[in-house]
Amino acid sequence: MNPPAALVDQVLAGQRLALARLITLLENEDPAGRAALDRLFAHTGRAHIIGVTGSPGAGKSSLVNQLARSFRHPAAEVQPLTVAIIAVDPTSPFTGGALLGDRVRMRDLAGDAGVFIRSMASRGALGGLARATAAAAQALDAAGFDVILIETVGAGQAEVDIARLAHTTLVVEAPGMGDDIQAIKAGILEIADILVVNKADRPGAENTLRALRGMLENGRNSADGWQTRLVATVATEQRGIAELRAAIDAHAAHLRAGSAWAERDQARLQAELEALVQRELVARWRAGLSPADYQQTLKRLAARELSPYQALEQLLTQAERGG
C-alpha cells in the first residue's frame, strides 16, 4: 500500500483522524506529508482563509469561537458553513497554558463534526511555523472546510507571514493599550482588512475606537479598493459579532466581485513559492560550501579585508567550485 495515496483519499473523504495525522506530518516536515500535499493541492483554492491576529489577551480566541458559532449556526435560510480553526502559538510548547485555555474557550464547538480545531506550536524557527501553518491550511482546504480561521499572537514577522496566507485579516485590539496603538501604527494596520476593538465593555473603549478611526481616516485605502473597517465587539457577551460577520462577508464579497480574489490567491502562492525557493537555494548554497572556507571568509570580513559584497562574491565562487 502506498501510504500517501491512502492518506490523501481519507483526507478527501473528510476523515478527521487522517487530517490530524497529515497535519502532524506537515508540522514535522516529513516527506510523506509533502507527498500527500502534492496530490491534495489540486483540490485546494475553495476555502475562505481568515487570519486573526493582535496583542496577547485581546480576545482573539473568544472571537474565533464566536465567529465559528456564527458560521455554524447562521440565521434561518442561510446554509451553515464548515469551519477549521488553527491556533498558532509561536512561544508555547504543545502543552502550553494558553492552548489549554483555548480548549476551554472553544469547548462549545467540540463534538460538532463541522468544526475542526488544531493548535500548532513552533518546533524551531518561526519560518518553519509559518510554513507548517500554510501547509496545514492547504490540507484543511483540500478536506473541504469552507472557512479556515487562523489565530496568531503578536505583531512580528510570523503574523505578517500568516496574514499573507489569509484572504481576510482581522487585527484585534483591546482598550487601554496605549503602546499597542503605536505598534499598530508601526505596521500591523497595514495588514488589517478589519480592525476589531474587542472588550468594548472596558473603560477606554471609546478612546481606542476614536484613535483608530482617526488613523484609518488618514490611512490607507488598500490597493484593491477596500477601505479597512472598524468594528467594536464584546466577545464574551456575543456583542458586535453580527457586525463583525457582516464586515467579513462584505470583504469576501468585495474580493470575489472583481479580480481581487484571484490576485490575492496568486500573491499568496507567489509568496509561498518564493519562501521555498529562498530556503532551498540557501540550503544548496550551504551544502556546497566548505565550513573552513566559510570561516575563513567570515574572518577576512571581520578584519575588513573584504567588504560584505566582496565576501558574497567569494562565497558564490567557492560554492560554484564546490557544487
Ligand X SMILES: Nc1nc2c(ncn2[C@@H]2O[C@H](COP(=O)(O)OP(=O)(O)OP(=O)(O)O)[C@@H](O)[C@H]2O)c(=O)[nH]1
Cα 123 versus chain centre, distance: 16
β-strands 194-197, 168-173: how paired? parallel
Q: Closest Cα partner for 173 from 77, 96, 75, 59?
A: 59
Residue of 23, 50, 58, 142 that binds ligand X (CB under 6 A): 58
Give yes or no for residue 153 binding ligand X (CB under 6 A): yes
The edge-to-edge listing of strands for the beta sheet with 168-173 is: 115-121, 83-89, 147-152, 48-54, 168-173, 194-197, 229-232
Residue 236 CB, nearest distance to ligand X (Å)?
4
H/E segment holding residue 91: none
Residue of 12, 81, 98, 301 that binds ligand X (CB under 6 A): 98
Give yes or no for residue 236 binding ligand X (CB under 6 A): yes
Q: Which stretch binds ligand X (CB under 6 A): 156-164, 189-197, 229-237, 295-303?
A: 229-237
Give yes or no for residue 34 binding ligand X (CB under 6 A): no
Q: Which stretch binds ligand X (CB under 6 A): 58-66, 106-114, 130-138, 180-188?
A: 58-66
CB 181 within 8 A of CB 46: no
Distance between CA atoms of 206 and 57, rounded to whole angstroms? 19
Q: Which does 201 bind (CB under 5 to 8 A by kind): Mg ion, ligand X, none?
A: ligand X
* Grid cell for residue 244: 463583525
Give yes or no for residue 220 binding ligand X (CB under 6 A): no
Neighbours of 62 (CB within 10 A): 20
Distance between CA atoms of 94 and 83, rounded to whole angstroms? 22
Name which of residues 31 to 60 contact Mg ion (CB under 5 A): 60
Residue 96 CB, nearest distance to ligand X (Å)?
9
Q: Which does 48 bind (CB under 5 to 8 A by kind): ligand X, Mg ion, none?
A: none
CB 194 within 8 A of CB 244: yes
Residue of 190, 201, 243, 293 that binds ligand X (CB under 6 A): 201
Residue 88 CB, nearest distance to ligand X (Å)?
10
Distance between CA atoms of 9 and 285, rounded to whole angstroms? 37
Residue of 10, 62, 82, 119 that binds ligand X (CB under 6 A): 62
Residue of 53, 55, 61, 122 that binds Mg ion (CB under 5 A): 61
Residue reference for cell 478611526: 213
Residue reference for cell 451553515: 80
Residue of 121, 166, 234, 248 that binds ligand X (CB under 6 A): 234
Residue of 8, 47, 49, 61 that binds ligand X (CB under 6 A): 61
Give yes or no for residue 318 binding ligand X (CB under 6 A): no
In order, the DSSP letters of 145-162 are -SEEEEEE-BSSHHHHHH
Give yes or no for residue 175 binding ligand X (CB under 6 A): no
User: Amino acid letter at 131?
Assistant: R
Give yes or no for residue 65 binding Mg ion (CB under 5 A): no
CA distances from 97 to 65, 100, 160, 197 (A): 18, 5, 24, 24
Q: Which stretch binds ligand X (CB under 6 A): 139-147, 233-241, 264-272, 288-296?
A: 233-241
Give yes or no for residue 57 binding ligand X (CB under 6 A): yes
Considering all CA atoms of the chain, what is the largest pairwise distance in Å, rounded to the nearest integer?
Answer: 74
Residue 55 CB, nearest distance to Mg ion (Å)?
11
Q: Which residues bind Mg ion (CB under 5 A)?
A: 60-61
Q: Which residues contact ligand X by CB under 6 A?
A: 56-62, 98, 101, 105, 153, 198-199, 201-202, 234-236
